[in-house]
Structures are given as structure tokens and as C-alpha cells.
């Protein structure tokens, strides 16, 4: 079968077809559900669970505000079914819609390259004049002794389990461990997090990671700087994890194990090299400034390229690649220099954009950093907040921001103010003084932090 456009992966890849392509024959190959990781087992279900967890957390902490409340029982199957009752039909209708279009064929199966711009799926060969690789990433399973002999979960399966774990053991200390640990602890499970590093969320600015680790130690059993010696079945239903760290060796037993030790791109499973597509040393598809791989006519986007592993960045890639497919003589840059923002929807929330302080030091750029506590802002008093803060890193020469980091309630929303400022090229002075901040909204903590930075930069 020959097509004008072959798309592998119906996550972000499913958004590539545009009305201008109605005259093209398009083949979409998907081995699982339409909507990909984000819709089916990533961003969307995890945030729906997180909202339920937050409702329970608010009830649990109501007493601080003079309200007597009891969190009561958690009906896990009801929470789970509400989430997937909403999501699963969206995935199914996405597939049905594509199948209904006259110029699009949907191929449900595993694609593998067998030649230049040619894949095989369910025994059929498909050659695309243009090919878009959008096959995403999968959970990395570390080589731990005994791991493959026990029934462990990854983020793909844990959100669909039958009952709330009594004791969830999580391997890993990144955003998935932080978000899902938050969900299960808030809903009533005991949670142990075992991490190789000495802090959680080590990709964040060090001040944020340190604060998050301190606060997490109050909620979770944290085993940091850990080496996992062995994982094995314990009694009838439990799993035992043997770990060693600076405090010695111990055996942790729980009834559920989540492996959240990172994600690896799927280029190898697609055998992209057979199609002439180069991978880097970390298995990521190599692309040029316009999203082209090393194989002529083959483009790549999202997690298979692995620059960010964030849905909004995969969506941004889609917009560029769609344009570039349609306008080969007027190519857009895949990376237009705008900093990629992100959030971690754990508790407390984290939002960040641009350089961390350590990155500013490593890059040798002139910089000034300030932190400012939520406790200084009127809404921080309303929240009874004593642990949240905004950290800003400014460039004293240009008067602009290098980076911004927030840990605390609404961090994912607050950071957007600063993302917008950075994307529009605003100076710290313009951001601080060029607009009127609503009183006494939480955004005042950002205003105060910006004024503090302006002062510290001597501007």
C-alpha cells in the first residue's frame, strides 16, 4: 500500500492531519488506544485522580481552618470508574472518527520498519511518501534482581487496579513517583518511595527539590540514596523489596509495587534504523531544526524524540511538523528558542520555566536569584501557608528572566504569568510594574517576587 502520509502513533500523531490534507491518502498505525499516553494512561487520568486526592486532602486538613470534618471511606472503584468512564469513550470515538474519513486508513497493530519509508503492520507493507514518527515512549524497567518474577505495575496499569493498595512501594523519585505517590497517600494508602538519588524531583531547581523532599518526608516513608538489592514475592500476596542506603539495609514489604524509574523512547521497538533513521546514544530519534530525521521524508515529534516528554511540547511539535509537511519551501523551526514550561501536579504543586540556578551557573550566564514566600502575600495568610515559595532567576544585564520556579498551591497556574512574560520578551520591570495585580489574589506573590528581583538586580 502506498500513501502520501504515514503516521506511526495516534497520540499526538493523530493531530497531524489537517483540512489542507484532505486530498492526501493517509495511513495511521496505532498498536493501542487512540489518544496515546496522555489521554489513556498519562496526563489526563493522573490529573483526574489528583483532583480526587486533593478533595480528600482538603477534608483531612480542614481542622487547621477551624472546621471539623472527617475524610471517611474512599471508594476506589468509584473514583477509577469515573475517570475511565470519561476517558475510554473519547479514545474509542477518536478511532471511529478517523476510520470514518474516506482518505484515512487506520491500521491497528505494531509497526516495524522494513525499509526506506516502509513499515510492516499485521503482515501488510505500507510505504509513505512522507512518514511521521510519533510512537512515544514507554516505562523504563531497571535491571533489578527478581523484578520480573513479581507482579509490578507501571504508570500504564496502576491507575486501573482493582483496589486501593494498603502499602504502595514506589521505585523512582521523578514526577510520576511524586504525582502517583500523592494520589495514593491522600486516598489512604501507606506509601514508601525508594529513590537512587538523595532527593526527589532532582531535575527541578535545587531549592524546589530540597523543599519538596523535606515535605515529602512527612507524608511518605522515603528511602533515599538507595540501592535495590532484590525484589521478591512475600507470603501470599505481598512483595518484598530489599534496599541498602546510608542507614543500612532493610526489607520493605507492601501489597503493590510501582516502577516509576523514567521513560525510554520507542524508536528501537519500531526498528527505525532499518528505515535509515538515526538514534542518539539515549535511543532518541535524532531530528534537525525542522523536525526532519536522518532519513529523507521521515519526520519525528513528541516523546520518541524525547527532548521534553511533555504533552504541550508534543502538541507544539505537531503544529510545526504539520506546517512543514504542507509547506516544504517555508519550513518552521521546531525549536524557536522559547523556554519549555512544565508542572508537577503533586502536593505541593510545582511549576517551572527556563533555567534553574544550577543551569545558570553551568552556562556561565550573569544571574541574580531571589526567593519569596507565599507567607508574605495576603492569600498566603488565607492558606495558612508556611512552606511555599516563588524563586526567580534574573539577568541583571538585560533585566529579563532566565527562569522561574514555584512550589505551592496553584503553582501550575501561577507560573503561566511568567511563561507569558518570558515568551513575549517582557522585562522583569514590565512584568512587575506594567500591569495591575488583583488584590488579594495569590498572583500577588508573583508580583512581590518580581519586585524583589528588580531590587536585587539593582534596576
Ligand X SMILES: Cc1cc2nc3c(=O)[nH]c(=O)nc-3n(C[C@H](O)[C@H](O)[C@H](O)COP(=O)(O)OP(=O)(O)OC[C@H]3O[C@@H](n4cnc5c(N)ncnc54)[C@H](O)[C@@H]3O)c2cc1C
Give me the active site residues, please: 439
Q: Pick from 273, 265, 336: which is nearest to 303 by CA?
A: 265
Cβ-Cβ contacts under 8 Å for 458 (sequence gap 6 or more): 396
Three-state SS annotation for 302-324: HHHCCCCCCHHHHHHHHHHHHHH
Longest dimension (CA), the chain: 68
Minimum Å distance from CB 366 to ligand X? Answer: 31
Task: Give residues in contact with ligand X (CB under 6 A).
Answer: 8-13, 29-32, 36-38, 42-43, 46, 110-111, 134-136, 155, 176, 266, 269-270, 302-304, 309-312, 314, 345
Minimum Å distance from CB 315 to ligand X? Answer: 8
CB of 41 or CB of 130, closer to ligand X: 41
Minimum Å distance from CB 137 to ligand X? Answer: 6
Our separate counts of H helices and E strands in the chain read: 12, 21
CB of 43 or CB of 456, closer to ligand X: 43
CB of 193 or CB of 431, closer to ligand X: 193
Minimum Å distance from CB 174 to ligand X? Answer: 10
Minimum Å distance from CB 293 to ligand X? Answer: 14
CB distance 423 to 416 below 8 Å: no
- 484532505: which residue's cell? 22
CB of 53 or CB of 428, closer to ligand X: 53
CA trace torsion 234, 235, 238, 241 (10° rounding) = -10
CB of 377 or CB of 412, closer to ligand X: 412
Three-state DSSP class for residue 285: strand
Write out the three cell numbers for 30. 496505532
CB distance 276 to 269 below 8 Å: no
Amino acid at each position: 500500500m502506498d500513501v502520501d502520509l504515514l503516521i506511526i502513533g495516534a497520540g499526538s500523531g493523530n493531530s497531524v492531519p489537517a483540512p489542507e490534507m484532505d486530498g492526501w491518502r493517509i495511513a495511521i498505525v496505532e498498536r493501542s488506544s487512540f489518544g496515546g499516553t496522555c489521554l489513556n494512561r498519562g496526563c489526563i487520568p493522573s490529573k483526574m485522580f489528583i483532583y480526587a486526592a486533593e478533595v480528600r486532602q482538603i477534608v483531612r486538613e480542614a481542622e487547621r481552618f477551624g472546621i471539623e470534618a472527617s475524610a471517611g471511606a474512599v471508594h476506589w472503584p468509584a473514583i477509577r470508574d469515573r475517570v475511565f468512564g470519561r476517558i475510554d469513550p473519547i479514545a474509542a470515538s477518536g478511532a471511529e472518527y478517523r476510520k470514518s474519513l474516506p482518505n484515512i486508513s487506520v491500521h491497528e497493530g505494531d509497526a516495524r520498519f522494513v525499509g526506506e519509508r516502509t513499515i510492516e503492520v499485521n503482515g501488510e507493507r505500507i510505504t509513505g511518501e512522507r512518514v511521521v514518527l510519533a510512537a512515544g515512549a514507554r516505562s523504563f524497567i531497571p535491571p533489578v534482581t527478581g523484578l520480573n518474577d513479581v507482579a509490578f505495575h507501571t504508570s500504564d496499569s496502576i491507575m486501573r487496579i482493582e483496589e486501593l493498595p494498603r502499602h504502595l512501594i514506589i521505585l523512582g523519585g521523578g514526577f510520576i513517583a511524586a504525582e502517583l505517590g500523592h494520589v495514593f497517600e491522600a486516598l489512604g494508602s501507606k506509601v514508601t518511595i525508594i529513590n537512587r538519588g538523595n532527593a526527589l524531583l532532582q531535575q527541578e531547581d535545587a531549592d524546589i527539590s530540597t523543599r519538596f523532599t523535606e515535605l515529602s518526608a512527612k507524608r511518605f516513608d522515603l528511602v533515599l540514596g538507595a540501592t535495590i538489592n532484590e525484589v521478591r514475592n512475600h507470603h501470599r500476596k505481598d512483595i518484598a523489596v530489599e534496599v541498602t542506603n546510608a542507614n543500612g539495609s532493610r526489607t520493605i514489604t507492601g501489597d503493590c509495587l510501582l516502577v516509576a524509574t523514567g521513560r525510554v523512547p520507542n524508536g528501537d521497538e519500531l526498528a527505525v534504523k532499518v528505515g535509515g533513521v538515526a538514534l542518539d546514544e539515549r535511543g532518541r530519534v535524532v531530528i534537525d531544526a525542522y523536525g526532519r530525521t536522518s532519513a529523507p521524508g521521515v519526520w519525528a515529534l513528541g516523546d520518541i524524540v524525547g527532548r521534553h516528554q511533555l504533552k504541550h511540547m508534543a502538541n507544539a511539535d505537531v503544529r510545526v511538523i504539520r506546517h512543514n509537511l504542507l509547506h516544504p519551501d517555508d519550513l518552521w523551526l521546531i525549536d524557536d528558542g522559547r523556554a519549555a514550561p512544565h508542572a508537577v501536579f503533586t502536593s505541593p504543586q510545582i511549576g517551572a520555566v527556563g533555567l534553574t540556578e544550577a543551569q545558570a551557573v553551568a552556562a556561565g550566564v550573569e544571574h541574580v536569584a531571589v526567593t519569596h514566600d507565599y507567607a508574605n502575600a495576603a492569600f498566603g495568610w488565607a492558606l495558612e501557608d508556611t512552606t511555599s515559595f516563588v524563586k526567580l532567576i534574573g539577568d541583571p544585564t538585560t533585566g529579563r528572566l532566565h527562569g522561574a520556579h514555584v512550589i505551592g498551591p496553584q503553582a501550575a497556574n501561577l507560573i503561566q504569568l511568567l511563561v507569558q512574560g518570558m515568551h513575549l520578551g517582557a522585562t522583569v520591570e514590565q512584568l512587575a510594574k506594567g500591569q495591575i495585580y488583583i488584590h488579594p489574589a495569590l498572583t500577588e506573590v508573583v508580583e512581590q517576587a518580581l519586585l524583589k528581583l528588580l531590587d536585587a538586580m539593582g534596576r
